[in-house]
Amino acid sequence: MTYVLDEIINGKLQSAFAALGLDEKYAAARPSDRPDLSDFQCNGALALAKIEKKNPRAIGEEIAARLREDKDFAKVSVDGPGFLNLTLTDSFLADVADRMAGDERFGCAVVATPKTVVMDYGGPNVAKEMHVGHLRSGVIGESMRRIEKFVGNRPIADVHFGDWGTPIGMILAEVIAADGNLDKMETYDIAEITRFYKQANSRCKEDPAAKETARQITARFQDGDPVYRKAWQHIRRVSVEAVKENYRELGVHFDLWLGESDAHETCFEIKRIAEEKGLLEYSDGAWIIRLDESNKPKPPVILEKSDGGFTYQATDLATIKMRVDDLHADEIIYFVDKRQSLHFEQVFEAAEKLGIAPNVKLLHIGFGTVNGADGKPFKTRDGGVMNLADLIKMSKDKVSESMPAADPANGLTQEYIDHLVEQVAVGAIKFQDLKNNIASGYVFELDDFANFDGKTGPYIQYAIARINSIMRKNKNITPGKVTITNAEERALVLRLSQLNNVVFRAAAELEPSIISDYTYTLAQLFSSFYNASPIMGAAGAEIAASRLTLAKLTRDVLVKLLELLGVEAPEIMLKA
């Protein structure tokens, strides 16, 4: 039996409400907005008063009278217009901490009915260097995958590689233009292929004829031309290797490395279903599905272009069908730049009309862009897009500047320090990405790279490293039963007790920032505890044992939280 604090407190409220014949729907507690008055508050009396046309304070007092009989509450009061303020006893809270410390899930529940959640993030493309946009998608998606898994769902992450569209034709055209044919293709590595793509990209922007050639080659390639397909396989393989290396460094995991190409055959099926359902329409040489325009004008979904190639809307629909049929998805979640929201609205509506995803929840979680100081999407000095590898390198360079030298005196090897630099640098980048709401973008300040103070990944890593140090230096003490001896300890335990609530809210709202925010405040409370509650100088062995339990529990919870964010926790963290 898991021990979930919110359920226990809500349970107490529910029985009080039920005993008074009040609707239990309003018997919900939440962390108090007024920590000076209470640990938890319940605003149910206010809502009930409106419905039952009674005085909210009178209802509140009736409920309070019941709750006061419960010895777990130190104080129950009705304040203001009818807020129910609940304060737990120190011994009850101490017991919560003991139970959390004794449970490998720290008192967190698991969902009653696990869902299969297909998660689509990353979305890198063949031959293109990964940039900060891919970073956000990967970092956010990876965190949500871990959160889904922790609460008991079955996430399946698919990278959904962009390996099928016009860029392929562009590269092929560019190589043919350079070499006369594709014979040398297999000798090109990722750097050369990327160079071909960049050239092709600027050529197609300037020259409509080049664009047309690329389009024709794309169509023939998709149609199955063996020479083109062979060249494509090389491009894809080399690109996947490069992308995997990028994601390995970031700690972003995928269960499936499928791509748009894998959906190609199913595109024909989508077209057939559309035809069967009478949804397919021929318009300006293209095959389209018209959408409902009664609410607002919405462009139609184009399945097949006038040149015969399928669009990415077609491949997205085909991919939905495959995820439903083959992976048995209950939910499909896309973590893609919010500028693509119209695309997903269109695709989801078409999927509904086609009936290819019955009872499957389709969600687009749109995230904001990474911006420069001017508030516009981040660009490098020469106006290009900041690529991911450069970004990571810049962060590492900054972290390296403040690293101590490897030295037998501090017990650190060069190998450890190199690893630490990576953990801190990547942790800083990822936390930055996860600390605000997904939908809001953030400003990427190069100058702030040297600064790891305040609400940052390294701050939390540092808190963990300090606890590790405490554990090392107090090996002779055995963690014991928790006793609350001061305000800092109480505040820490109270915050710890909200873990389950936080994790499930993050899962329900698909919002890792709920976790990053909680993680930060927990680390903050630990820092205060650290100053107020010494273990070595504790007044008595029992207090020392209690504090050691709190320190260890906090450390374990912080490590778990960072794990849910996809951030690593170094064992030792030193600065020069």
Partner RNA sequence: GCGCUCCUAGCUCAGCCGGAUAGAGCAACAGCCUUCUAAGCUGUGGGUCGGGCGUUCGAAUCGCCCGGAGCGCGCCA
86 to 115, contacts with RNA by CB under 7 A? none
If one asks whether residue 167 binds RNA (CB under 7 A), the answer comes out as: yes
Q: Is 293 exposed, middle or buried (0-12, 13-18, 19+ CB in 10 A)?
A: exposed
**170, 201 contact by CB (below 8 A):** yes
Nearer to RNA, 176 or 443 (CB): 443
H-helix or E-strand containing 138? helix 132-150
**261, 237 contact by CB (below 8 A):** no
If one asks whether residue 272 binds RNA (CB under 7 A), the answer comes out as: no
Structure tokens that stand for 485 in this block: 């001896």
Beta bridge partners of 310: 304
**40, 31 contact by CB (below 8 A):** yes
Q: Is 78 helix (H, G, I), strand (E, B) or coil?
A: strand
In angstroms, what is the minimal distance from the CB of 147 to RNA? 16
Nearest alpha carbon to residue 399 among 361, 435, 344, 450 = 450
- Looking at residue 149, the DSSP 8-state letter turns out to be H
In angstroms, what is the minimal distance from the CB of 446 to RNA? 13
If one asks whether residue 348 binds RNA (CB under 7 A), the answer comes out as: no
Which residues, at least 6 apart from 38, have a Cβ–Cβ distance to it below 8 Å?
32, 75, 77, 85, 86, 87
User: What residue spans of 383-476 are helical by DSSP H?
Assistant: 388-401, 414-434, 457-473
In angstroms, what is the minimal distance from the CB of 454 to RNA? 2
Q: Is 100 exposed, middle or buried (0-12, 13-18, 19+ CB in 10 A)?
A: buried
Nearer to RNA, 103 or 405 (CB): 405
Nearer to RNA, 251 or 534 (CB): 534
Nearer to RNA, 299 or 540 (CB): 299
In angstroms, what is the minimal distance from the CB of 183 to RNA? 26
Q: How far apart are CA 139 and CA 137, in angstroms?
A: 6
Nearer to RNA, 3 or 197 (CB): 197
Nearer to RNA, 153 or 468 (CB): 468
Nearer to RNA, 142 or 433 (CB): 433
Which of 131, 134, 136, 215 forms a contact with RNA (CB under 7 A)? 215
Q: Which residues, numbered 288-347, are part of the site for RNA (CB under 7 A)?
A: 288, 296-297, 299-300, 302, 305-307, 309, 311-312, 315, 338-343
Nearer to RNA, 3 or 134 (CB): 134
For 151: left if phi > 0, alpha if psi spans -120 to 50, otherwise beta; the answer is alpha
In angstroms, what is the minimal distance from the CB of 228 to RNA? 15
In angstroms, what is the minimal distance from the CB of 77 to RNA? 8
Number of residues that bind RNA (CB under 7 A): 99
Q: How far apart are CA 534 and CA 332, in angstroms?
A: 49
Q: Which residues, numbered 243-262, are part of the site for RNA (CB under 7 A)?
A: 260
Q: How far apart are CA 571 and CA 32, in angstroms?
A: 34
Nearer to RNA, 211 or 560 (CB): 211
Nearer to RNA, 3 or 467 (CB): 467
> Residue 71 CB: number of other CB atoms within 10 A?
9
If one asks whether residue 441 binds RNA (CB under 7 A), the answer comes out as: yes
Q: Is 19 exposed, middle or buried (0-12, 13-18, 19+ CB in 10 A)?
A: exposed
In angstroms, what is the minimal distance from the CB of 544 to RNA? 8
Q: How far apart are CA 395 and CA 445, in angstroms?
A: 11
In angstroms, what is the minimal distance from the CB of 283 to RNA? 5
If one asks whether residue 285 binds RNA (CB under 7 A), the answer comes out as: yes
Nearer to RNA, 458 or 566 (CB): 458
If one asks whether residue 136 binds RNA (CB under 7 A), the answer comes out as: no
In angstroms, what is the minimal distance from the CB of 23 to RNA? 15
In angstroms, what is the minimal distance from the CB of 465 to RNA? 3
Nearer to RNA, 42 or 357 (CB): 42
Q: Which residues, numbered 503-542, are part of the site for RNA (CB under 7 A)?
A: 513, 517, 520, 524, 527-528, 530-531, 533-537
Q: Which residues, numbered 373-432, are part of the site for RNA (CB under 7 A)?
A: 375-376, 399, 402-403, 420, 424
- Looking at residue 308, the DSSP 8-state letter turns out to be S
Which residues, at least 6 apart from 216, have a Cβ–Cβ distance to it below 8 Å?
169, 307
If one asks whether residue 166 binds RNA (CB under 7 A), the answer comes out as: yes
Which of 149, 466, 490, 552 forms a contact with RNA (CB under 7 A)? 466
Which residues, at least 6 apart from 296, have a Cβ–Cβ distance to it below 8 Å?
none
Which of 107, 155, 458, 566 forms a contact with RNA (CB under 7 A)? 458
In angstroms, what is the minimal distance from the CB of 484 to RNA? 15
If one asks whether residue 446 binds RNA (CB under 7 A), the answer comes out as: no
